[in-house]
C-alpha cells in the first residue's frame, strides 16, 4: 500500500518538469506504480537505504545509493520526502545540491505525522522559505525557494563511557544513536562485559556503538557490522576509525551473505520502516539467526519489553533467557544448541 506521501506525489505530478530526482522515497510500491502513472517524465532516485534502492533498481529506474547523490548531468526538479529526523533534511539538501540545475524546482512532501507541518519554520532556519501547495490525504506538498544550505555533509561525534571504558561515537543525521546513546542500547552494553571470541556481527549497527564496544572489550575478535542504511555504514566506519578499531562494515538489507556463520550476533534491531511500526524486519532476522550462528554461539538482543520478540526467539531457538530488564527494555540471549 502506498504511503500518504507517495499518494500526494502522484496527486501533484503536473507540478514536475523535466528530469526529476526523488530523494529518500519510502519503502512502498511507488517504484512499480510511478512509471505507470507518469509515462512522460524521466525519474531518478537517490536513497541511503539498500532496501529502497533494490526496489527502484528492479523497476529499472536510475538509482544512486549511498551517502551522496552520484549522477551525470543535472536535474530540473527534485522531490524530497520529509524525513523523521529534521537534521537529516538539511543533510538531504546538501547531498543533492551538486546535481541540481541552478533554477531547479524543489518540492517537499511528507505525512502529517512526519513533522512536515512545521516545514515553514524549519526552512527558515536554513535560510529558505516553504510555500504550501496542497493538503490532502493526511499529507502536505510544499515548494522550497532560496539558497540551498552551504557545506558538505559531515559527521558529528560524542564521547561514550561504559563500565569505566570510554570511546568516541561518530554519526550522521538520521542514524540510530545520532548524538546520544539510547536507553535500550545502554542496557545491552551493560550486559556485554565478558570478552567474546571468534566472529561477531553487530546487526543493524547504526552508529557502531555495539560493535565498537565489543571490539574494544575483545581486541582479538573478528568484527562484522551491517545496516540497511549507507549513512549508518559510514557512521560505523567512522566510529571504528576514531577508536583505531578494525572491522568489516556492509550496507545490506537483512543478514549479510558473508561470512556464512558467526560465533555471536549482538543487536538492537529496528521495528520501524519510516514512520510505520514494522515488526517484519526483526521477525525475519530472528527466524534466520539459528542458521547463521555456530553451535555454542549466541544471539544477544535488546528490545522494548512489550514487543513480541521473546516468543519469536523461543520458537527459533527453543529457549530464551532474559539477562536484564529496565525502563521498559529487556535484554534477551539465546544459545545455539543445535548442530548446523
| CATH homologous superfamily of 156-335 | Vaccinia Virus protein VP39 (3.40.50.150)
DSSP structural state of residue 76: E
User: What 3-state DSSP class applies to 223?
Assistant: strand
Nearest to 267 by CA among 247, 277, 281, 280: 281
Pairing of strands 293-304, 262-267: parallel
Q: For residues 292 and 256, what is the distance between their CA atoms, to the nearest angstrom? A: 10
| C-alpha closest to that of 219 among 193, 245, 237 | 245
The pLDDT assigned to 123 comes to 95
User: Do the domains spanning 4-145 and 156-335 agree at the CATH topology level?
Assistant: yes
Q: What is the pLDDT of residue 177?
A: 77
Residue 49 confidence (pLDDT): 96
Task: Tell me what pLDDT residue 276 has.
Answer: 58
CATH entry, 4-145, from 3.40.630.30, 3.40.50.150, 2.60.40.10, 3.40.50.2000: 3.40.50.150
Longest dimension (CA), the chain: 62
Q: Is 321 in contact with 298 (CB distance < 8 Å)?
A: no
C-alpha distances out from residue 50 to 267, 306, 323, Å: 19, 28, 32
Distance between CA atoms of 107 and 131, rounded to whole angstroms?
9
Phi-psi region of 52 (alpha: psi -120 to 50; beta: other; left: phi over 0): alpha
User: How many Å apart are CA 249 and CA 309, to the nearest integer?
Assistant: 26
Residues of the chain with pLDDT under 50: 272, 275
Question: 161-218 pLDDT, tens per residue?
Answer: 888 888 999 999 999 878 888 999 999 999 998 888 999 999 999 999 999 999 999 9
Contact 305, 328 (CB under 8 A): yes
Map out the domains of the chain as residue ranges.
4-145, 156-335
DSSP strands (E only) in 9-97: 20-23, 43-47, 63-65, 75-81
292 secondary structure, DSSP code: G
On the question of a cis peptide bond just before residue 259, with omega within 30 degrees of 0, the verdict is yes
Give the contacts of 84 (CB within 8 A, at least 6 positions apart).
Answer: 114, 115, 174, 274, 275
Give this prediction's pTM. 0.93
Instruction: Report how far residue 189's alpha carbon sits from residue 210's, in angstroms, rounded to the nearest whole number.
Output: 7
162: Cβ contacts below 8 Å, ≥ 6 apart: 186, 189, 190, 213
Amino acid at each position: 500500500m502506498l504511503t500518504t506521501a507517495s499518494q500526494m506525489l502522484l496527486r501533484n505530478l503536473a507540478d514536475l518538469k523535466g528530469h526529476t530526482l526523488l530523494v529518500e522515497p519510502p519503502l512502498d510500491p511507488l517504484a512499480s506504480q510511478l512509471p505507470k502513472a507518469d509515462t512522460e517524465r524521466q525519474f531518478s532516485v537517490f536513497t541511503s537505504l539498500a532496501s529502497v534502492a533494490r526496489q527502484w533498481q528492479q523497476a529499472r529506474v536510475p538509482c544512486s545509493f549511498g551517502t551522496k547523490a552520484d549522477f551525470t548531468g543535472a536535474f530540473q526538479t527534485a522531490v524530497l520526502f520529509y524525513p523523521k529526523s529534521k537534521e537529516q533534511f538539511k543533510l538531504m539538501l546538501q547531498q543533492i545540491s551538486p546535481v541540481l540545475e541552478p533554477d531547479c524546482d524543489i518540492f517537499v512532501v511528507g505525512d502529517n505525522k512526519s513533522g512536515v507541518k512545521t516545514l515553514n519554520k524549519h526552512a527558515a532556519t536554513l535560510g529558505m522559505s516553504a510555500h504550501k501547495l496542497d493538503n490532502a490525504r493526511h499529507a502536505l506538498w510544499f515548494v522550497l525557494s532560496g539558497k540551498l544550505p552551504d557545506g558538505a555533509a559531515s559527521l558529528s561525534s560524542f564521547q561514550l563511557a561504559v563500565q569505566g571504558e570510554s570511546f568516541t561515537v561518530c554519526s550522521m543525521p538520521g542514524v540510530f544513536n545520532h548524538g546520544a546513546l539510547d536507553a535500550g542500547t545502554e542496557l545491552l552494553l551493560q550486559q556485554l562485559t565478558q570478552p567474546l571470541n571468534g566472529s561477531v556481527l553487530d546487526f543493524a549497527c547504526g552508529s557502531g556503538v555495539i560493535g565498537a564496544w565489543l571490539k574494544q572489550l575483545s581486541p582479538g575478535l573478528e568484527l562484522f557490522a551491517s545496516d540497511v542504511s549507507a549513512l549508518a555504514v559510514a557512521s560505523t566506519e567512522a566510529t571504528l576509525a576514531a577508536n583505531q578499531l578494525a572491522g568489516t562494515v556492509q550496507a545490506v538489507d537483512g543478514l549479510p551473505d558473508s561470512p556464512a556463520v558467526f560465533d555471536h550476533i549482538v543487536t538492537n534491531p529496528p521495528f520501524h520502516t519510516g514512520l510505520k511500526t514494522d515488526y517484519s524486519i526483526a521477525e525475519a532476522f530472528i527466524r534466520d539467526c539459528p542458521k547463521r550462528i555456530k553451535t555454542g554461539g549466541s544471539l544477544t538482543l535488546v528490545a522494548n519489553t512489550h514487543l513480541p520478540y521473546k516468543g519469536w526467539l523461543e520458537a527459533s531457538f527453543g529457549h530464551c533467557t532474559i539477562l536484564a530488564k529496565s525502563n521498559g527494555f529487556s535484554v534477551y540471549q539465546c544459545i545455539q544448541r543445535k548442530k548446523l
